[in-house]
A and B are shown apart, each in its own frame.
Chain A
Amino acid sequence: MSPEHYPSLIVVTPLMMSFIVFAAGLFNRRICYPLVIATLCACFYFSVTLLARVMQQGSPIHYYLGAWDPPWGIEYVVDHLNGLILVSVALIALLVGIYSRSIAAGEFREEKLPQFYTLFLLQVTGLLGMTITGDAFNLYVLLEIASFSAYAIIGMGEGAAAFAAFRYMIFGTIGACAYLLGVGYLYILTGSLNMADLRDLLPPLYGSRVLMAGFAFLMVGVAIKMGLFPVHPWLPDSYTLAPSSVSALLAPLFTKVGAYVLLRVLFTIFDPTFSVTVIPATAVLGWLGVAGVLFAGVMALAQADLKRMLCYLIVAEMGFIVIGIASANRFGLTGAVLHTVNDMFMMACLFTAVGTINACAGTRNLRDLRGINRRLPVTMGVFVVAALSVIGIPPLCGFFSKWYLVLGAIKAGQWAYVAALLISSLLSAVLFFRVIEQVYFAGHETGDGSKTVIDRIPLSQLAPMVCLALCIMLLGVFSGKLINTVIAFAVPAAL
């Protein structure tokens, strides 16, 4: 278990443990939860160690699986960018894992719990693997591991969840197949699947039509998986109907890891000269981002279901990240990376809070949530912290990433991006103040006389939510340090 094997252990541990949890669940269901938490703790430890080592040595860690040298073998690479994403994914998976215990117990029949935990760990395996791999085909496999566990786990949800999961699967398979086809095109041209190797081999071929077709397929595939605006219709349904314990894991992480893959395709497999100049991919993405931000903002306003509203908010946030990437300068990309991380925490916070509200009040309909703050003061407090961060109130992390996104857009001279960012901030302010007003102030006239009491929910729900809210504050306060020590090295040097 020496530290040089951590890059593979971070993927192999949850993968192996998912089978062990399933087998152990056949004999004793109580043992599943401690096993899952131990695994997630181990993953978090590995990710922190890896990021610390990358920061210490200042250069990426390369790990060759089975000691096969690249480009023949599969290579795992940890640099500043995915080190940061790994830590965030592992931390949120751990917190949501702790949170899921009491929520899942209320949502699933007891004999289903081992299956739930198995899928949970497989999901984490896929997400961590997508982040750490340096091989384009390996990324496809891990993407599909994450997607399958998502389809299956969403299908376990309420009401029409199975139908939503089937639709998600049709969309997701088109996305994955498009990505696979794109990788095939690159393979025909270069004979290589290793990202770093592709980067070296591709520049002489930048005029080739096959390469452009391959690039387009890769973009379509990643865009579908990350829920970018015109190909997002699978997202609201499936994440709304998914069980709360699952949507708190899926909704914040999957789309953001998709955004990370987009960054990798644009700036690691291809050179910025290709994705910005040769093919105006960033310009197209930017306009899709603008359209997505505005469309999703308006759609979110129209929702009465709190969770569905958050799902549209995710589509808007993906637009933000893409606008940052489209600015194609240091500020914009810093904003995009920072927003990817911030948004994971903000969405995890909002989804866990809504999951608890749903479990306690039995409804997510905004009209029925009047005065819920008296029964769940801390949960609503956490919700408000995350909401203020999404709007972009200064000491919270959402402000800083939006600041960089706007700076990047101004520097790129794209005033439409600036306008979209600002309008969307206004929209989310309206959105959340409507919720806050409905919950805190609308019930006062009727006043049912109940006193404020501390939330009567298990500590396993309360503690992770409060931790996530604290993370949002800390990320805000220390965002300058984070940018200087990590993100500054994560942005491609050519920009």
Chain B
Amino acid sequence: MIEYLLVKHSYWFYIAMIMVGFYGMMAKNNLMKKLIGMNIFQWSIILYYISIGSKKGGTLPVVITGQAARAADYINPLPHVLMLTAIVVGVATTGIALALLVILYRKYGTLEEDEIIKAIKQ
């Protein structure tokens, strides 16, 4: 059991991280904290993707021509490339969310969700 936990320790870390993010998005009242939760949620998935591409003893995926290449010697670059896109997506989400929060703060003078809802209902 201990061995099972230790061998997969990175996965346990991502699960903990995604749960922290999810809790932040669902349970926090402050919209900025929700946004931070959302970021943690996204980054945990990005870390998870990056970890699935790495190999023990693997090196940079650059093959020098003329040499026979063994796939096991190189880390898998594809998940890392995918995550470049996902990082851009994450940054764009944060940008739009911050813009929306600026609009909300100017309008209602607060970022607490319950206060904004109260102001909307009036």
Binary interface encoding of chain A residues 181-202 relative to chain B, with 1 for a CB under 8 A from any of its CBs, else 0 = 1001001100001000000000
Inter-chain contacts of B25 with A (CB < 8 A): 170, 174
B96 contacts A159, C-beta separation under 8 Å: no
CA distance A177 to B41 in the complex (A): 8
CA distance A155 to B97 in the complex (A): 10
Binary interface encoding of chain B residues 101-122 relative to chain A, with 1 for a CB under 8 A from any of its CBs, else 0 = 1011001000000001100100
Indicate if A415 sits at the interface (CB-CB under 8 A).
no
Binary interface encoding of chain B residues 79-106 relative to chain A, with 1 for a CB under 8 A from any of its CBs, else 0 = 1001001100100110011011101100
A162 contacts B104, C-beta separation under 8 Å: yes
Say whether chain B's binding surface is mostly helix, strand, loop, or mixed: helix
Q: Which of A140-186 contact B (CB under 8 A)?
A: 141, 144, 148, 151-152, 155, 159-160, 162-163, 165-166, 169-170, 173-174, 176-177, 180-181, 184
Residue in A160, A181, A187 whose CB lies within 8 Å of B45? A181
B107 contacts A174, C-beta separation under 8 Å: no
Chain A residue at smallest Cβ distance from B108: A163
Inter-chain contacts of A151 with B (CB < 8 A): 96, 100
Interface residues of A (CB under 8 A from B): 137, 141, 144, 148, 151-152, 155, 159-160, 162-163, 165-166, 169-170, 173-174, 176-177, 180-181, 184, 187-188, 193
A148 contacts B93, C-beta separation under 8 Å: yes
Chain A residue at smallest Cβ distance from B93: A173
Chain B residue at smallest Cβ distance from A162: B103
**Additional A-B contact list (16), CB under 8 Å, known A166-B104, A174-B25:** A148-B92, A148-B96, A155-B100, A160-B116, A163-B117, A166-B31, A166-B97, A169-B96, A169-B100, A170-B34, A173-B41, A177-B41, A177-B42, A181-B45, A184-B79, A188-B52
Inter-chain contacts of A170 with B (CB < 8 A): 25, 34, 38
B52 contacts A152, C-beta separation under 8 Å: no
CA distance A187 to B53 in the complex (A): 10
Inter-chain contacts of B52 with A (CB < 8 A): 184, 187-188
Indicate if B74 sits at the interface (CB-CB under 8 A).
no
Chain B residue at smallest Cβ distance from A171: B25
Query: Separation in Å of the B52 CB from the closest CB of chain A?
Result: 6
CA distance A339 to B45 in the complex (A): 35
A184 contacts B93, C-beta separation under 8 Å: no
Give the size of the chain B interface in residues (CB under 8 angstroms): 29
B120 contacts A173, C-beta separation under 8 Å: no
B38 contacts A173, C-beta separation under 8 Å: yes
18 A-B pairs (CB sep. < 8 Å): A144-B92, A148-B92, A151-B96, A160-B116, A162-B103, A162-B107, A163-B120, A166-B31, A166-B97, A169-B96, A169-B97, A170-B25, A170-B38, A174-B22, A177-B41, A177-B42, A184-B45, A193-B82
Given A141-B85, A160-B120, residue A165 in contact with residue B100 (CB < 8 A) = yes
Residue in A141, A144, A155 whose CB lies within 8 Å of B99? A155
CA distance A221 to B96 in the complex (A): 20
Query: How many A-B pairs fall under 8 Å by CB?
Result: 67
Inter-chain contacts of B48 with A (CB < 8 A): 181, 184
Inter-chain contacts of A188 with B (CB < 8 A): 52
Chain A residue at smallest Cβ distance from B76: A191
B103 contacts A155, C-beta separation under 8 Å: yes
Inter-chain contacts of B45 with A (CB < 8 A): 177, 180-181, 184
B41 contacts A152, C-beta separation under 8 Å: no
Inter-chain contacts of A181 with B (CB < 8 A): 45, 48
Query: Separation in Å of the A234 CB from the closest CB of chain B?
Result: 13
A166 contacts B100, C-beta separation under 8 Å: yes
Chain B residue at smallest Cβ distance from A156: B103
CA distance A137 to B49 in the complex (A): 12
Most buried by A among B34, B49, B89: B89
A163 contacts B116, C-beta separation under 8 Å: yes
CA distance A193 to B79 in the complex (A): 11
CA distance A369 to B89 in the complex (A): 43
A141 contacts B89, C-beta separation under 8 Å: yes
B116 contacts A173, C-beta separation under 8 Å: no
Q: Which of B27-62 contact A (CB under 8 A)?
A: 31, 34, 38, 41-42, 45, 48-49, 52
Query: Separation in Å of the A325 CB from the closest CB of chain B?
Result: 27
Given A144-B89, A184-B49, residue A152 in contact with residue B42 (CB < 8 A) = no
CA distance A165 to B48 in the complex (A): 28
CA distance A162 to B100 in the complex (A): 6
Chain A residue at smallest Cβ distance from B49: A184
CA distance A137 to B78 in the complex (A): 11
Residue in B31, B34, B92, B120 whose CB lies within 8 Å of A159? B120
Query: Separation in Å of the A146 CB from the closest CB of chain B?
Result: 12
CA distance A177 to B21 in the complex (A): 12
Inter-chain contacts of A169 with B (CB < 8 A): 38, 93, 96-97, 100
CA distance A159 to B117 in the complex (A): 12
A174 contacts B103, C-beta separation under 8 Å: no
Inter-chain contacts of A162 with B (CB < 8 A): 100, 103-104, 107
B82 contacts A137, C-beta separation under 8 Å: yes
CA distance A189 to B38 in the complex (A): 27
CA distance A187 to B82 in the complex (A): 11
CA distance A144 to B93 in the complex (A): 9
CA distance A174 to B92 in the complex (A): 15
